[in-house]
């Protein structure tokens, strides 16, 4: 049983997470560590709320119990407790952290490279089609953990070849083979990220990976930066459940207003808050109801926080098995189709943001989505492409209307 995890942040030792006999988890910052916090919910002055450290760690693991169970079986971890799983898989997680059960400094990447053959990558994809919770393979050395409930794995691209990631070799890409029930999900997620960029949002490069007869969505990690030696550095980020010190299992009950309040508190220029509203608007405009608090992140840079680029922007409207209720109500609206300008104004007023700016930003996002309604979704099956087009046009027409 592990009760201690040594934490490295962007390459420097930052301290240790410890669990006491009563199950209380704490992050003890090292005196010599830089001033950068591990989380907005874990400030350096020790004012963290009682459960923030435990929740922060838990939020680094897959959402589904079945995926955690598979993680335990593959690694031989003592249990599915957060500490035991992260001791085995905390080498490559979201953001700039590396978590290790011992105090040893991670080896240099050149000493820890493990080549990922095309056949092995294709096999990973086909295994995830068979069982969406089997994120790792017993026979492969991949050591990563990511949140979310969709099937996925991580890869490191170095000099044009693929490698498995670990504490020394940071992954550069995330691969998500679509769940069988989500017809066209790979193309839809690529189209959404591309469209987001076209309407002026920050979004990572995404495409469909085709390897040895298998296909999957693949996206560049924005929490990584190239280094002159050909490897990548980790950049720190956390999702909004972590930033607010909340439990991932409550991701659907975290509202837009507390998120905006936290963003404004840490970025008084309101830049991060307005970027969040623009992502919120984009998700609503493309019919993505699943944009909960773990689908928004902040990058923690030495100069302050910024909202991360957009990710996980799947238009859930395409698949009836999804709950189409918005993960975060907007000005009281529960469904994307209900939204008018008045809802956005209400959200702006309730969260203290400049109402005219919010209205203008939201209108620009909806207009951008509607202008590209004919072309943006052309890689989808024709029935899905026409549904996306109709949705964009209807919703934008509604947003343009003001109440009398």
Ligand X SMILES: Nc1ncnc2c1ncn2[C@@H]1O[C@H](COP(=O)(O)OP(=O)(O)O)[C@@H](O)[C@H]1O
Instruction: Give me the residues that bind ligand X (CB under 6 A), please.
Output: 94, 146-150, 152, 174, 204, 219, 221-223, 239, 294-295, 297, 311-312
Which pair of tokens denotes residue 154?
């991580």
Instruction: Name the nearest CA neighbour of 89 among 106, 75, 104, 108.
Output: 75
In whole angstroms, the minimum distance from the beta carbon of 277 to ligand X comes to 20
- Closest residue (Cβ) to Mg ion? 312
Piece in contact with Mg ion (CB under 5 A), picked from 47-55, 142-150, 251-259, 371-379: 142-150
In 161-262, the DSSP E strands lie at 161-163, 173-176, 206-211, 214-220, 224-226, 232-234, 237-239
Residue 152 vs 274, nearer CB to ligand X: 152
Which pair of tokens denotes residue 380?
């989808």
Which pair of tokens denotes residue 322?
């999804």
Q: Report CA torsion sign: 277, 249, 66, 101.
A: positive
Residue 150 contacts which entry, Mg ion, ligand X, none (Cβ below 5-8 A, type-dependent): ligand X
Residue 91 vs 148, nearer CB to ligand X: 148
CA atoms within 13 A on the CB side of 29: 17
Piece in contact with Mg ion (CB under 5 A), picked from 70-78, 147-155, 215-223, 272-280: 147-155
Residue 221 contacts which entry, ligand X, Mg ion, none (Cβ below 5-8 A, type-dependent): ligand X
Residue 81 vs 294, nearer CB to ligand X: 294
Which pair of tokens denotes residue 66?
């079945």
Is 308 within 8 Å of 300 (Cβ atoms)?
no
What residues are paired with 158 via a beta bridge?
Answer: 161
What's phi and psi for 115, nearest 5 deg?
A: -65, 135
Residues near 45 by beta carbon (within 8 Å), at least 6 away in sequence: none
Residue 62 vs 331, nearer CB to Mg ion: 62
- Here's the x/- map for Mg ion, 269-308, by CB under 5 A: it reads as --------------------------x-------------
Residue 240 vs 330, nearer CB to ligand X: 240
Residue 54 contacts which entry, Mg ion, ligand X, none (Cβ below 5-8 A, type-dependent): none
Residue 82 vs 150, nearer CB to ligand X: 150
Contact residues for Mg ion, defined by CB under 5 A: 148, 295, 312
């Amino acid at each position: 049983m592990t009760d201690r995890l040594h934490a490295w942040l962007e390459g420097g030792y930052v301290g240790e997470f410890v669990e006491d006999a009563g199950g209380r988890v704490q992050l003890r910052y090292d005196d010599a560590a830089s001033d950068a916090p591990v989380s907005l919910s874990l400030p350096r002055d020790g004012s963290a709320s009682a459960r923030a450290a435990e929740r922060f760690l838990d939020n680094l693991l897959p959402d589904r119990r079945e995926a955690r169970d598979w993680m335990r079986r593959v690694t031989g971890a003592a249990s599915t407790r957060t500490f035991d799983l992260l001791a085995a898989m905390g080498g490559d997680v979201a953001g700039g952290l590396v978590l290790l059960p011992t105090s040893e400094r991670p080896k240099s990447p050149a000493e820890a490279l493990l080549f990922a053959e095309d056949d092995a990558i294709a096999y990973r994809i086909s295994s995830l089609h068979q069982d969406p919770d089997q994120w790792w393979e017993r026979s492969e050395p991949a050591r990563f953990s990511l949140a979310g409930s969709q099937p996925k794995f991580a890869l490191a691209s170095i000099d044009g070849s693929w490698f498995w990631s670990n504490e020394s070799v940071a992954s550069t890409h995330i691969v998500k083979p679509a769940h069988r029930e989500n017809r066209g999900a790979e193309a839809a997620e690529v189209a959404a990220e591309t469209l987001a960029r076209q309407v002026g949002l920050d979004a990572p490069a995404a495409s469909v990976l085709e390897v040895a007869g298998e296909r999957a969505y693949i996206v560049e990690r924005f929490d990584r930066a190239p280094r002159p030696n050909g490897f990548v550095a980790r950049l720190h980020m956390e999702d909004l459940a972590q930033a607010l010190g909340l439990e991932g299992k409550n991701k659907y009950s975290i509202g837009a207003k507390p998120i905006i309040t936290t963003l404004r508190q840490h970025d008084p220029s309101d830049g991060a808050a307005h970027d969040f509203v623009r992502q919120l608007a984009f998700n609503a405009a493309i019919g993505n109801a699943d944009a909960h608090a773990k689908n928004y992140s902040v990058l923690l840079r030495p100069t302050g926080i910024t909202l991360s680029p957009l990710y996980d922007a799947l238009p859930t409207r395409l698949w009836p098995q999804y709950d189409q209720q918005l993960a975060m109500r907007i000005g009281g609206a529960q469904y994307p189709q209900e939204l008018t300008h008045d809802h956005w104004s209400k959200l702006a007023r309730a969260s203290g943001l400049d109402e005219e700016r919010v209205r203008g930003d939201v209108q620009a996002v909806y207009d951008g989505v509607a202008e590209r309604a004919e072309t943006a979704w052309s890689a989808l099956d024709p029935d899905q492409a026409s549904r996306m087009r109709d949705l964009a046009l209807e919703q934008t027409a509604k947003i343009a209307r003001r109440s009398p």
